[in-house]
Chains A and B, each alone.
Chain A
Amino acid sequence: MLQPAFDNMVHDSQRMFRHILTALAEPLLPQDLPQLPPALPGLLPATAAVLYTLIDQDVTLWAPALPDSTVASLRFHCGLQLAAQAEQADFILLPLGSTLPPLASLQAGSAEYPDRSATLLLEVADFTIDQVEASGPGIAGSRRFGAGQLPAGFWAQWQANHARFPLGVDVLLISASQLAGLPRSTLVKEG
């Protein structure tokens, strides 16, 4: 069964893009996402909105096994191209509770073209806990942040990812109805 996507592809994807842009411009400040499309089986409601906004036939996405109907819906609405391996994908989608592939194994760009790097779409439970202190572009001073049900070892791997700047991956942390951005430029201290 195909799931319906946005009510209005043009305006809803524009609004969603602005939330994503703001999320990366103001890292780890959760953005509320009103008016989401129906959830795709196996994914949080906000994740569908992110996918409809960013994915098309020009990029590849890797995900652990997704329900057939979700893949079919994404093929129909976005022209989804699945990557065979996470290491080659432009986008990596990790549903809640997935195992994190080593961040260092994902596309990090090259010294001349650091933009040719992966974006990780990482589902989390919520943004109500306190885990780290973040600083860097987009953050005036410092910002406390935490995300429920992050994959084990995420913050340690993040520090290694940030240390490769300007190379590295960027992350969108997605809860049921919120979104937080984590660009490679963000420095994070645990505790």
Chain B
Amino acid sequence: MTEARPGQWQYNFAFLDENTKRMLRRALLKAVAIPGYQVPFGSREMPLPYGWGTGGIQLTASIIGQHDVLKVIDQGADDTTNAVNIRRFFARVTGVATTSHTTEASLIQTRHRIPETPLRPGQIVVFQVPEPEALRTLEASEVETRKLHAHQEYGLMHVKLYEDIARFGHIATSYDYPVMVNQRYLASPSPIPKFDNPKLDMSPALLLFGAGREKRLYAIPPYTRVESLAFDDHPFSVQRWEQACALCGSHDSYLDEIITDDAGARMFVCSDTDYCQQQQEGVA
């Protein structure tokens, strides 16, 4: 059962031992049954420091199989250090195929973005989550936040967002914008831009969230209502740009501003590098 290779120390398929995988798998099933609710899990030490996506890695390790095709992105890009390291890690400990193309992937691990290319039924997205508790900045105690979720008492969050409106004239939160899942649990969508929030609603893909330091996971099943918090007089809205992407010309994608020379010249380009490339090739 242990996959031994010459010249390497022995490890199990996908690194985690089978007991740890089973524990995570049972927790995942409960997470899917209670959309948006944070399931605690026992954690095994991973060969990466927290902040490198240990929660996401543990979830991916517990679900990945020989026939999966894995894509890993960080801020929308497949070629950042974090994404490359995680992709290499799984290629080494599973031997699965990897891809940068959203359409080819059966399993996508991500930090900070949801791909622009629409997800499809059967795909699974694993989000790396630094802080799973949407209410944490408002209430430090885990005992108290558990009670707030139990009683569906989310007034604090509405007050916070409304204070934004009073102070800035709009809701200033632009990342990790809180959502209501299945009209029951307030949840953090992880630090994705609020631009990506609408993609969570009635997604055809299964969305899984793993927080390694906090040892919690949660899920949004496919075709589940996910609403971004809003007010009647201040409806939810996403970021928009006047420019198109300087590389592919897309008007529909999330753009990053980059500085192109020492004089400080700037341009806007897609944060999703695979999408941008597909657009440039005229595929999509």
Binding site for B on A (CB under 8 A): 8-11, 13-15, 17-18, 20-22, 24-26, 53-54, 56, 58-59, 110-115, 117, 119, 136-140, 165-166, 170, 183-185
Contacts and interface: CB of A to CB of B under 8 A. Distances in A.
Nearest to B149: A112
Interface residues of B, number: 46
B29 A24 contact: yes
A9 B18 contact: yes
Contacts of B14: 14
B65 A18 contact: yes
B206 interface: yes
A137 B29 contact: no
Contact of A115 (B23, B37, B223): B37
Nearest to A184: B33
B204 to A, nearest CB: 8
Given A11-B13, A58-B22, A115-B39, 15 more contacts: A14-B63, A17-B63, A18-B63, A22-B122, A24-B33, A54-B22, A111-B151, A112-B149, A113-B40, A115-B40, A137-B221, A140-B204, A170-B30, A183-B33, A183-B34
Contacts of B84: none
Interface in B1-39: 1, 12-14, 18-19, 21-23, 25-35, 37, 39
B202 A140 contact: yes
A182 to B, nearest CB: 9
A11 B33 contact: no
B19 A58 contact: yes
Contacts of A58: 19, 22-23
19 contacts: A10-B13, A11-B13, A11-B66, A13-B22, A14-B13, A17-B63, A25-B221, A53-B22, A54-B22, A115-B30, A115-B39, A137-B225, A138-B223, A166-B184, A170-B30, A170-B33, A185-B34, A185-B182, A185-B221
A54 B34 contact: no
Given A59-B26, A137-B224, A10 B202 contact: no
B198 to A, nearest CB: 17
B223 to A, nearest CB: 4
Nearest to A170: B33
Contacts of A56: 19, 22
B222 A114 contact: no
B146 interface: yes
